[in-house]
Amino acid sequence: MKEKKTVNIHRLYAEDPIEADRLLFGRESDPVSRRGFLRRTGLSAMAAVLGGPIVFAEHMPGGLLPALLLQDGNEEALKKLGKHTGLTILNDKPWNIETPAHLLDDEVTPADRMFLRNNGLMPTSIDPATWTLTIDGEAVTKPVSFTLAELKQKFTHHSYRLVLECGGNGRAEFDPPAKGNQWTVGAVQCAEWTGVRLKDVLNAVGVKSNAVYIGYYGGDTHLSGDPDKVVISRGVPMAKALEDETLLAFAMNGKDIPLAHGHPLRLVVGGWPASASGKWLKRIAIRDRVHDGPKMTGDSYRVPCKPVEPGEKVPDEGMCIIESMPVKSVITSPKSGAILDKGRTLELRGHAWAGDLSVKRMEVSIDFGASWQAADLKPAHNRLAWQRWTANVKFPETGYYEVWARATDSSGRSQPMVVPGWNPKGYLNNATHRIAVRVR
């Protein structure tokens, strides 16, 4: 007997969305339509899976995996990491753990609901009393070291709520698929960090006029176990390093930073890929050139400088370092799959952010983006924090709906309704977030 082969539904849609429609729902998409809408029979089959008719089906593109089917069961969270049991483990060596959107509803993200992205093995022996930070490099007058106690005593403390988002957040939606952890929308958080400003420390140390970049080095161990091999060493240009909100942080949400998130000292750089915020911070090099540490070159946290064809191999000189993250939003309430009685109003909540910029407009749609309704948008608590948004929507009849959310930044750029420009590592997907709702 021939063995049956099973294929993950997400992979099936990523490889050939129109073929996925045919295989799952029995009919090919309408070849006459430029957008490839499903024929009536296919829509009926899809409606049966979703538990009701698809309202506004005439606006639904063929090859679109319904939001209700995007939900995967989560594995048990690791209690030793202090994580909520609803988080999703993507990898355990190193730890990579995602937060489902509905668990990001807090305005300040609690430690147990923060996504976790490690590149190596966490330190196993830490003594804050003997922990030191060294500032050196080609562009400092002379190397200087500070104990943690000296940093706390010599410099003014500051607290900011800062968005940290993995550069690969949303990678799961790219086609062709990109290698790496298949984040959906939950590799983002906005905790409140307390520490000293990096610029205050650098001013005290003395930075030369030829300073171009900083590069960090942490206390984690390479997966190979080699203590001399650097796990990751990234950085930012001096202009970003000298912003008020760039911190040498020793506390998060009013408590010591948890070990998994960088205890006892972490660099925090809001608005840029979270990989720029080095954990277990031991050293900062002030460079006279663009930093070239591990995961700063090749296609690591870099994207094509110009649009390329999906799957195209891009030469190193054609890649640009990711800096400010793009405008994005997430629906945190209700959880995807909500069931609502006909005639009732659905209250929506979420967050929006835009890297170094702010969000100026927030909208939601219940008809697959054919029309949009304005949401109420609050200002950020401080620069580089996310912004709370709310909206109330009503549905005209019973059936299956999708609620889509779209943010527009202060420069006028809006989230796309489809996955944006392909890149080799699947970075910077800021397509609209969507959840499933059934009205009965």
In angstroms, the CA 67 to CA 331 distance is: 12
Rg (CA), the chain: 23
Query: Which residue positions in the chain have pLDDT lower than 50?
Result: 1-6, 27, 31-37, 71-75, 77
Q: How far apart are CA 136 and CA 317, in angstroms?
A: 29
Which two structure tokens, joined as six digits, stand for 177? Answer: 């698929």
State the pLDDT at residue 85.
87
Residue 409 belongs to what H/E stretch?
Answer: strand 399-409
DSSP H helices in 80-183: 148-154
**pLDDT value of residue 53:** 77
E-strand stretches of 288-354: 302-304, 319-321, 328-333, 338-340, 346-353
**Alpha carbons within 13 A on the beta-carbon side of 438:** 15
What's the confidence (pLDDT) of residue 45? 62
Domains and CATH numbers, the chain: 9-64 (no CATH), 111-321 (3.90.420.10), 328-439 (2.60.40.650)
Report the pLDDT value the prediction gives residue 15, as an integer from 0 to 100: 63
Is residue 61 a contact partner of residue 35, using CB atoms and an 8 Å limit?
A: yes
Q: 53: cis peptide before it, omega within 30°? A: no
What pLDDT, on a 0 to 100 scale, did the predictor assign at position 72?
47
Helices (H), 16-147: 17-25, 40-50
Residue 11 in tokens: 């992979």
Please count the other Cβ atoms lying within 10 Å of the Cβ belonging to residue 199. 16
What is the pTM assigned to this prediction? 0.83
pLDDT at 23: 66
- Model confidence pLDDT, tens digit, residues 169-224: 999 999 899 989 999 999 999 999 999 999 999 999 999 999 999 999 999 999 99
Q: Which residues contact 22 (CB under 8 A, 6 or more apart)?
A: 28, 29, 42
Asked if 275 and 166 touch (Cβ cutoff 8 Å), the reply is: yes
Q: Are residues 123 and 220 in contact, defined by beta-carbon separation less than 8 angstroms?
A: yes
**Token pair recorded at residue 178:** 């990109």
- pLDDT, residue 77, reads 46
Dist. CA 301–CA 324, nearest whole Å:
12
CA-closest candidate to residue 193, choices 240, 157, 141:
157
CA distances from 319 to 205, 293, 294, 356 (A): 33, 16, 16, 21
Q: Where do runs of H (alpha helix) occur along 226-275?
A: 238-241
Residue-level pLDDT at 3: 43
- The Cα 52–Cα 46 span in angstroms is 9
CA distance 396 to 280: 53
Q: How far apart are CA 337 and CA 287, in angstroms?
A: 50
**What is d(CA 273, CA 349) in angstroms, rounded to the nearest whole number?**
24
Specify the pLDDT at position 35. Answer: 43
C-alpha 431: how far from its chain's center?
12
